[in-house]
A and B are shown apart, each in its own frame.
Chain A
């Protein structure tokens, strides 16, 4: 039994050599890979910080001070536009009413003008009758021939002036009817457009307010994500240290096994027979314990590495999520930055300006038409004055005729009748002229209002120009914001995508934990075989504590001591190596692993 045992010790001594090489590979191979991973982590942290910064910038662009100010300005401008459109509508209705009144007045001119036409005929008839009567009475009627010519001239004058008034009246009527049609048509168009504008305006402002709100929410999300990403990076920094911790654990395993190899010696004949049995027991104890330490180290490294990969993937996912949400919030549709809501607002603003300009142009046309109405009525007034003068002349001629008829005596009685008729015509002329004058006065009072309205319309045109200027400024600022927005969004999307891709590339290429686990498993398998073979020869005993006492000094970590205690407990040995990790100076306020002296 002793010889076999001693030979077995030699066999284990030999089998431990390649196991030690495996463990040395485990301890030595991870450093470079973790260093590379650390370099990438720093790069990812910087890029992630840039994404958070860009996201904050973007939120500031959309819902920051400038945007809020712009939104308030928009609301103010749209209120002014709404008021303006209501005014335009009211003015259109008033203008229609005024023009309708003028039109009615023009209708009342027709009758007196027809009276002038009849007067013209009567004067011509009287002229002819005077000539005939004058010829009949011979020399006595010589002076009446001149009178007949004067009456004829008057008939021409009445005809000419009344025809002039008639022509002007018709022209005015056409002008008014034409403008009434325009005002009505423009009015209908304006009202329809106004309704659409108001809907668009309301929708646009709500969209801006909603966009500001959404972006503020995404901004909060971006800040939360930045905090979470910082926590993930902190977690990675903590996990990265497990490479060093694991390396030290494996180095302690290597030291323990090398010490064991020194005890077992290379040659079996060098071992004293009485020492073989305790050495087998020690070999079993050490291999069992170091298998557990190796397993724990590998598990710890695998757990830390998986935590690192998980954190990196989480960083990529979170930054990508923020990028997508911002894009969705700003454009309203992920992936279609051209359909920016701000671009739509710019378009709405331009449409509104076009419609307002159309209103201003219609107002100007109406103003010009009103001025023309006033000019025409002035011209009609001139004709009426001329007719008034004709009426006075008729009266004088009639008086002259009556005097001449009286001088002529009984033979001029017929001429006296004609003179009386001429006298009556002068009275008719006064009546007709007064009618036309009254109408023209009424039209004049209306056109005074028209001129007043025209002044208001001029002010209205200036108001539209001011609104247009302000709208252009808003459009220009919206344009700058949109350009900045698209620039930031594009940068954010490409940065987040690139970061996500790079993190995925890195995380899929990290296999250090798998290789470490494989090596650990190889070493562990050999150590477990040796300890089982050793236990088969010499069962576990209470010597465990003594056999492994030299190892206790080598431990630096609580986990190593804990595993040692657990192994000892399996063999019925109570060992107290570890205590709850606690700061020696009490609660330092920085955590259980920190002491400040």
Chain B
């Protein structure tokens, strides 16, 4: 059975490209339009991994990570930030919140898939 990965990003075109890349490699994908939407969905749906943007309306990526880590259903899933943000301070913030990895946009499809394979074991 294919692994299920959530992509959370307020940009529909970024969600589209992440989803396309993952599906091409055989993963199932669920989308969330912002941090709040993602957290809501993750409260009732078990996924294998979360790929999230940092800057999003309603709830940003850091808030989302904290929310997921505080929950139960997806508490231990790998979470990778996918953002334009490249500052070291922000990365540390993400790491402290519980991020598994950090990818600065634009990503190359093979990079994303390699990271997904790595963190999913």
Q: Do A and B bind each other?
A: yes
A residues sitting closer than 8 Å to B (CB atoms) are 31, 34-35, 38-39, 41-42, 45, 233-234, 237-245, 247-248, 556-558, 581, 584, 590-591, 593-597
Nearest A residue to B98, CB-CB: A597
Question: Once bound together, how far apart are the Cα atoms of A248 and B10, in whole Å?
Answer: 11
Question: Once bound together, how far apart are the Cα atoms of A591 and B108, in whole Å?
Answer: 9
Contact of A244 among B11, B20, B91 (CB under 8 A): B11
Contact B99 A594 (CB under 8 A): no
A524 to chain B, nearest CB (A): 22
On whether A556 and B111 interact (CB within 8 A), knowing A38-B20, A244-B13, the answer reads no
Counting CB contacts under 8 A, is B120 at the interface? no
Residues of chain A within 8 A (CB-CB) of B63 are none
In the assembled complex, 23 residue pairs joining A and B whose CB atoms fall closer than 8 Å, in A order, are A35-B13, A35-B16, A42-B20, A237-B21, A239-B106, A240-B13, A241-B106, A242-B106, A244-B9, A244-B105, A245-B84, A556-B87, A557-B84, A558-B86, A584-B88, A584-B92, A590-B118, A593-B103, A593-B104, A593-B105, A594-B115, A595-B91, A597-B102
Contact A584 B91 (CB under 8 A): yes
User: Top 6 A-B pairs ranked by shortest CB distance?
Assistant: A241-B106, A593-B104, A244-B11, A596-B101, A595-B102, A38-B16
A470 to chain B, nearest CB (A): 46
Contact of B100 among A237, A239, A597 (CB under 8 A): A597
Question: Once bound together, how far apart are the Cα atoms of A593 and B85, in whole Å?
Answer: 10
Counting CB contacts under 8 A, is B119 at the interface? yes
Contact of A595 among B17, B101, B118 (CB under 8 A): B101
Contact B101 A248 (CB under 8 A): no
Contact B91 A596 (CB under 8 A): no
Nearest A residue to B95, CB-CB: A597
A240 to chain B, nearest CB (A): 5
Counting CB contacts under 8 A, is B76 at the interface? no
Nearest B residue to A42, CB-CB: B20
Nearest A residue to B87, CB-CB: A556
B114 to chain A, nearest CB (A): 5
Contact of B106 among A238, A247, A248 (CB under 8 A): A238
Nearest B residue to A591, CB-CB: B111
Contact B109 A596 (CB under 8 A): no
Residues of chain B within 8 A (CB-CB) of A556 are 54-55, 83-87
On whether A38 and B118 interact (CB within 8 A), knowing A238-B107, A597-B102, the answer reads no
Question: Once bound together, how far apart are the Cα atoms of A234 and B110, in whole Å?
Answer: 8
Contact A240 B17 (CB under 8 A): yes
A241 to chain B, nearest CB (A): 4
Nearest B residue to A595, CB-CB: B102
Query: What is the number of contacts between chain A and chain B, taking CB atoms within 8 Å?
Result: 103
B78 to chain A, nearest CB (A): 9
Question: Once bound together, how far apart are the Cα atoms of A238 and B111, in whole Å?
Answer: 11
Counting CB contacts under 8 A, is B14 at the interface? yes
Residues of chain A within 8 A (CB-CB) of B11 are 31, 243-244, 247
Contact A596 B17 (CB under 8 A): no
Contact A41 B20 (CB under 8 A): yes
Contact B12 A35 (CB under 8 A): yes
Question: Once bound together, how far apart are the Cα atoms of A154 and B6, in whole Å?
Answer: 123
On whether A590 and B14 interact (CB within 8 A), knowing A581-B104, A597-B100, the answer reads no
Residues of chain B within 8 A (CB-CB) of A233 are 109
Counting CB contacts under 8 A, is B24 at the interface? yes
Among residues 1 to 57 in chain B, which have CB atoms less than 8 Å away from a CB atom of chain A? Answer: 9, 11-14, 16-17, 20-21, 24, 54-55
Contact B12 A594 (CB under 8 A): no
Question: Once bound together, how far apart are the Cα atoms of A240 and B19, in whole Å?
Answer: 13
On whether A590 and B114 interact (CB within 8 A), knowing A241-B106, A244-B11, A245-B84, the answer reads yes
Question: Once bound together, how far apart are the Cα atoms of A237 and B19, in whole Å?
Answer: 11
On whether A234 and B109 interact (CB within 8 A), knowing A38-B20, A241-B17, A557-B86, the answer reads yes
Contact of A31 among B12, B55, B95, B114 (CB under 8 A): B12
Question: Once bound together, how far apart are the Cα atoms of A556 and B102, in whole Å?
Answer: 14
Contact flags B72-98 to A (C-beta < 8 A → 1, else 0): 000000000001111110011001000
Give me 12 other A-B pairs in contact (C-beta within 8 A), A241-B17, A590-B114, A596-B100 excluded. A35-B12, A45-B24, A237-B21, A238-B109, A242-B106, A247-B11, A556-B84, A557-B84, A590-B111, A591-B108, A593-B86, A597-B99
Nearest A residue to B88, CB-CB: A584
Contact B21 A594 (CB under 8 A): no
Residues of chain B within 8 A (CB-CB) of A584 are 88, 91-92, 102
B70 to chain A, nearest CB (A): 18
Contact of B115 among A240, A248, A590 (CB under 8 A): A590
Contact B115 A596 (CB under 8 A): yes
Contact A237 B20 (CB under 8 A): yes
B59 to chain A, nearest CB (A): 17
Contact B17 A594 (CB under 8 A): no
Interface centre among A34, A243, A244, A248, by most chain B C-beta atoms within 10 angstroms, is A244
Question: Once bound together, how far apart are the Cα atoms of A12 and B20, in whole Å?
Answer: 45
Contact of A594 among B54, B55, B85, B101 (CB under 8 A): B101
Residues of chain B within 8 A (CB-CB) of A591 are 108, 111
Question: Once bound together, how far apart are the Cα atoms of A247 and B24, in whole Å?
Answer: 26
Residues of chain B within 8 A (CB-CB) of A590 are 111, 114-115, 118
On whether A245 and B106 interact (CB within 8 A), knowing A31-B11, A237-B21, the answer reads yes
Contact B102 A594 (CB under 8 A): yes
Contact B14 A244 (CB under 8 A): yes
Nearest B residue to A559, CB-CB: B84
Contact A593 B107 (CB under 8 A): yes
A181 to chain B, nearest CB (A): 76
